[in-house]
Amino acid sequence: MSAPAAHHYTTTGLDSRKIAIWAFIGSECMLFISLISTYLIYKGRSIVGPFPHEEWTSPDGRHFEPILDILVTSASTFVLLMSSLAMVLALSAVQNKNLPKRTRGERILGSSKLWLWMTALLGATFLGFQAYEFTSFVHEGLTLSTNLFGSSFFTLTGFHGAHVTAGVIWLVSLLAIDYRRGLGPADALNVDIAALYWHFVDVVWIVIFTVVYLIQ
């Protein structure tokens, strides 16, 4: 890999890596909007339950409550939003690494390791919530093949969870670099690119939370 200070400028004067991540995020918008559209097209068209917001009794007399647990998902949404705050603070800490830290507050805010750890842990916590949700849904009788809701729900949220997982791995790799040689202002763009990906994963969840969980 080239040295962190090596720039990849284009004729626009912008770094090609940053242009690439924005182009990638643009293409990811298309992927997630297609998945959300598919979910909405199938919404309300399932023949058998369990359903997201309505009770259902099967022909053999089994009763199913509405399957979505809004309070649990609200907690996981809050966790992901706070991980975005931790991520911008990690980026800020890397950018300001060379500044003198006079007060305790400045030392805390200037610790890139602390904020990268926090972001990765919050991301992992979100994944834990998702694993709990998926497991409980399967126990309650909703799988990928149960009905149209199950298929579109697991595909959409599963793709999002895979993106969060990739983000956590990316953050852990940045942490490893930080422990090995320290991240400084010369690495700011690399951290910025990881941060853009992480915030994108967050904004996708903002839409999913409203469209899938809150709108009945």
Partner 1 sequence: MAHDPAHTEHAAADGHAGGEDQHHPGWSTYWKVAVILTVITIWEVWAYYIPSLVASRIFVPMLLILSGLKFVIVVMFYMHLKYDHKLFRALFTGPLLIAALTGIALLFLFGQLVARFGPG
Choose one: 54-62, 117-125, 167-175, 196-204; the region binding partner 1 (CB under 8 A).
196-204
151 belongs to the binding site for partner 1 (CB under 8 A): no
Identity at 176, one-letter amino acid code: A
72 belongs to the binding site for partner 1 (CB under 8 A): no
| DSSP assigned state of 202 | H
Q: Which of 67, 79, 90, 94 binds partner 1 (CB under 8 A)?
A: 94
Q: What is the DSSP string of 150-168?
A: HHHHHHHHHHHHHHHHHHH
Q: Which of 58, 62, 106, 181 binds partner 1 (CB under 8 A)?
A: 106
Q: What is the DSSP string of 187-211?
A: GHHHHHHHHHHHHHHHHHHHHHIII
Identity of the residue, 67 or 87, whose beta carbon is nearer to partner 1 in the bound complex: 87
* Total Cβ atoms within 10 A of residue 100: 7
202 belongs to the binding site for partner 1 (CB under 8 A): yes
Gyration radius (Cα) of the chain, Å: 21
Q: Which of 67, 79, 87, 116 binds partner 1 (CB under 8 A)?
A: 87
Total residue length of the chain: 216
* Cα–Cα distance measured from residue 94 to residue 91, given in angstroms and rounded to the nearest whole number: 5
Give one word for 62, left, alpha or beta, with left for phi > 0 and alpha for psi -120 to 50.
beta
| Interface residue list for partner 1 (CB under 8 A) | 5, 7, 9, 12-15, 17-19, 22-23, 25-27, 29-30, 33-34, 36-37, 40-41, 43, 70-71, 74, 77-78, 81-82, 84-85, 87-89, 92, 94-99, 102-103, 105-106, 108-109, 184-186, 188-189, 192, 195-196, 199-200, 202-203, 206-207, 209-211, 214-216
